[in-house]
Amino acid sequence: MTGQPSLYNLFDQTDVQYWELQIEKGNLPTPEQLALLIKKNSDQPLPAWLTALVIRGLRGELKGKRGRPHRSSYHQLCVWAAAAEYKCVLAQMLQAEDAEHNGGAAKTGKGRTHKPAHERAAEQVVTEWRLPMSWRSFLNEVRSKK
């Protein structure tokens, strides 16, 4: 590598030095990233290490990582904390509903617009914790106990 890379070189995926650092770390570009790199640097000769990478790409040996990316530890911690709060909120909502039924309050019509307590509790917790998922996904996560 020539010289000390600048901050711009460390994060620009169209820079040759960026990919030299990434390859040293063991991260290979996808064919799309390699094509973009060659297109943006077409006015410069290809370094020897990049030529070998292009050959691997043409042979179909470069593949992107498959599947859903792993969640960060922070996100998983937020989901666990939200699941604990969900259980408390659900218990409170069910207790309030039981108190209404036992108190002899007039029955309210439970039509199509009424949501069960577990749905309302999940919506509340997902909103409060600002989780990037729907309440249904949250309930699936809680029930699967991942």
* Residue 44 within any structural domain of the chain: yes
* Closest by Cα among 120, 133, 129 to 91: 120
> Do 77 and 139 fall into the same domain?
yes
User: DSSP character for 130?
Assistant: T
Same domain, 32 and 77: no
What's the pTM? 0.54
Give yes or no: residues 30 and 83 share one domain. Answer: no
Question: pLDDT for 99-117, tens place per residue?
Answer: 888 876 666 666 666 899 9
80 shares its domain with 137: yes
Query: How much of the chain, in percent, has pLDDT values that exceed 90?
Result: 34
Residues 45 and 80 placed together within one structural domain of the fold: no
Q: What is the pLDDT of residue 129?
A: 95
Helix segments in 26-113, DSSP class H = 31-40, 48-58, 73-102
Whether 104 is covered by a domain: the verdict is no
Average pLDDT over residues 2-30: 78
Q: Are 19 and 35 in contact (CB under 8 A)?
A: no
Domain region containing 124 = 73-98+115-144
In a domain, 53, yes or no: yes
Asked, for residue 64, whether it belongs to a domain, the answer is no
Q: Is 121 or 105 the better-scoring residue by pLDDT?
A: 121
